[in-house]
Chain A
């Protein structure tokens, strides 16, 4: 596997939050309602600060729910006009055809929809992940109609939904022409089992104000490897190509990337670490910036040239040629690349905060660069939480 070369000061991604208001309440959400909508000028200045500090090529617009932010189109336009790719993270509730067209006009690059069965979404209560593929299909079709805008999904994975991961991945693979990314994010929260105490800047904190917490450590310790194994069992050969390790425990995989290659009719295999390495290295040499994802998901058959250096693509090429021999019309199919991100977010492991080393989602907060998952530790307590040992 290839370790992404991203660092805090040379990173393809950055993050900006426009509001902390939201119309859903999702388990695992670590954003508290404290400020409401932020001023447009503050958001713009954070975006520029992020760009200067991280050398990023894309900005994720998050919240809260960014689509209820009144100036969301201006924010997208501002990012795009600074030659950065705007990406929105939304729950989709307010995603209308009209707004979609406005966002497209403003230069939106990708929209990530957070859809999972833990959300108690009106009209979708008590549905399984498999049932929710219908809602995902709705959004994927809407984004497809925008032509040129990429579509992604975020799914929080709990112990209950872990066995349903193959159903989600199966649907995603069938929609390889419409869906470019799925992030499967293991649920995390503050472990408040008996005896656990936390502090910030040397002082013990009141954890009752923290909404994402759990009395059951088992529920908040799903690892990225566990999720990857579930996928591998259903889809053999689904080997991750690249990763980010943990800051406190470098042996953990905080971010595992699986890249499917195929057409809507058939998945031929995955890309391997060498293909990702070439993509990162050549992009950085050419543009001076790293890249998260692929500029054009319709990667085409030229990807098979990488079989010369990438063993996984060699296998995919073998399957493609086999399929063409059986049915020569497969030769006319378009070939896409699709990214499955398996994430094991911010967690406290053996008393230490284990963050993503090379985090893609850093944000500016009071002029400083912080991992976005720590924002509310700063807003509520004035700094990052650490566990009190002993």
Chain B
């Protein structure tokens, strides 16, 4: 059970947010379960992408922006997009499956100003050469990309893992691999699989019109598969990593008691993990960054945050065990005093979902994007592209039950 009083609620909103989102193509080289993007438009014109970036920055005041798709690395102008963003002093992050990531492209992206790549790797992807591998075995592929980006010297490395019931038991093992690569891996997102359930008692509408959800692709026969929540992932990780304590969150838009986004930040060196940051440190980082730059912090440009971080221990109770662990480690081996101190953020996500008859989004979503001049949640883009608006679930009652509903004066 999480006590919300021990967590920091990020101060983000739609118009003052740490993040933004832009999509450059809807083409992809893989077909991952849970992907909510359809191949409709192909590669977008560069000018249109640039306009969306400018508008997204203007409306959201974002510090960093995700370049997504589809698979952005097959977009012919990807270097131009990264350079354009970096010139605007936005931290560009590419979300990729990694299939097209070569050492040469890494160097080009680095020169263009790329800050970070998040690689989507999980066992459901049926990735050529990695079929039938489990999440633990996929750590080898993750290691390959982490080494590739580490060699680049400047681009940060992150991972996305879609979590199914089948892969839930492997979370501690992925975490252990991440922690071993504290200096190479700055981020990992565990994203619970979601899809809209199809049942007789729910009808889906867009602007009052009934729609056929099959327009959005195939569905799971087992609804329990789409109900993994952030707390469940947290419990699973904590079975092996007792020090995994979240510091901050975003709540749901319709069910505010849900944790749509739960963040833990580890602090350590390439040799060992010392502990986690607490809510106070996250709050101070957000507040100071905003006060001095006018923007909330999406992520640190340099992951080697340094020992100065420990100076916050008097204000952050949760950081004190990390400081004690560090001092003890230095007493045992004084050369550790000269090791770089890194941070690594672990995100647990419970994305767009249908909960108690309502769509439950991330309140203050970090991934808002511009679509036809308007700011929308990127997870809903294809609701607009396929159906022309957002999907609303409507509870379908039997006729007799409707007549009993005395407080509903519907015609």
Mark A residues whose CB is within 8 Å of B.
Answer: 3, 5, 7-10, 53, 55, 199-206, 209, 245, 247, 250-251, 274, 277-278, 281, 284-285, 288, 351, 357-358, 369, 379-382, 386, 388-390
Contact = CB atoms under 8 A, between A and B. Distances in A.
Interface string B369-411: 0000001000000000000010010110000000001011111
B291 A203 contact: no
Contacts of A206: 409-411
A203 B207 CA distance: 11
A10 B126 CA distance: 42
Contacts of B407: 379-382
Interface string B240-267: 0000000000010100110000000000
Interface residues of B, number: 41
Contact of B410 (A200, A247, A274): A200
Contacts of A382: 405, 407-408, 410
A225 to B, nearest CB: 15
Interface of B: 4-5, 9-16, 59-61, 203, 205, 207-208, 251, 253, 256-257, 280, 283-284, 287, 290-291, 315, 363-364, 375, 389, 392, 394-395, 405, 407-411
A258 B264 CA distance: 38
Nearest to A245: B15
Give the top 8 A-B pairs by smallest Cβ distance, nearest first: A5-B11, A202-B394, A203-B410, A3-B16, A10-B9, A245-B15, A250-B14, A250-B15
A250 B363 contact: no
A3 B15 contact: yes
B287 A285 contact: yes
Contacts of A284: 283, 287
B256 A53 contact: yes
Contacts of B59: 250-251
B218 to A, nearest CB: 25
30 contacts: A3-B16, A5-B13, A5-B16, A7-B9, A7-B251, A7-B363, A8-B253, A9-B9, A9-B251, A10-B9, A202-B394, A203-B408, A203-B410, A204-B411, A205-B409, A206-B410, A209-B409, A245-B14, A250-B13, A277-B290, A277-B291, A281-B287, A281-B290, A285-B280, A285-B284, A357-B15, A358-B13, A382-B408, A388-B208, A390-B207
A279 to B, nearest CB: 12
Contacts of B208: 199, 202, 388-390
B114 to A, nearest CB: 27
Contacts of A205: 409-411
B5 A351 contact: no
B9 to A, nearest CB: 4
Contact of A3 (B13, B284, B405, B410): B13
Contacts of A8: 251, 253, 256, 363
A24 B290 CA distance: 45
A200 B408 contact: yes
B11 A381 contact: no
A7 B16 CA distance: 12
Nearest to A244: B13
Contacts of A5: 11-13, 16
Nearest to A383: B408
A305 to B, nearest CB: 16
A233 to B, nearest CB: 26
Contacts of A381: 407-410
B297 to A, nearest CB: 13
Given A203-B410, A357-B15, 9 more contacts: A9-B4, A9-B256, A201-B410, A204-B411, A206-B409, A278-B291, A357-B14, A380-B409, A389-B389
Nearest to A5: B11
Contacts of A199: 208, 410
Nearest to B209: A390
B255 to A, nearest CB: 9
A10 B205 CA distance: 32
A102 B315 CA distance: 41
Given A8-B256, A285-B287, A201 B9 contact: no
Nearest to B206: A389
A10 B8 CA distance: 9
A381 to B, nearest CB: 6
Nearest to B255: A368
A242 to B, nearest CB: 11
B383 to A, nearest CB: 14
Of A53, A202, A357, most buried by chain B (CB within 10 Å of CB) is: A202
A390 B205 CA distance: 14
Given A7-B363, A274-B291, A204 B410 contact: yes
A390 B394 CA distance: 19
Contacts of B207: 351, 388-390
A262 to B, nearest CB: 26
B375 A250 contact: yes
Of A247, A250, A284, A357, most buried by chain B (CB within 10 Å of CB) is: A250
A279 B187 CA distance: 32
Nearest to A208: B409
A386 B209 CA distance: 13
Of A209, A245, A274, A351, most buried by chain B (CB within 10 Å of CB) is: A245
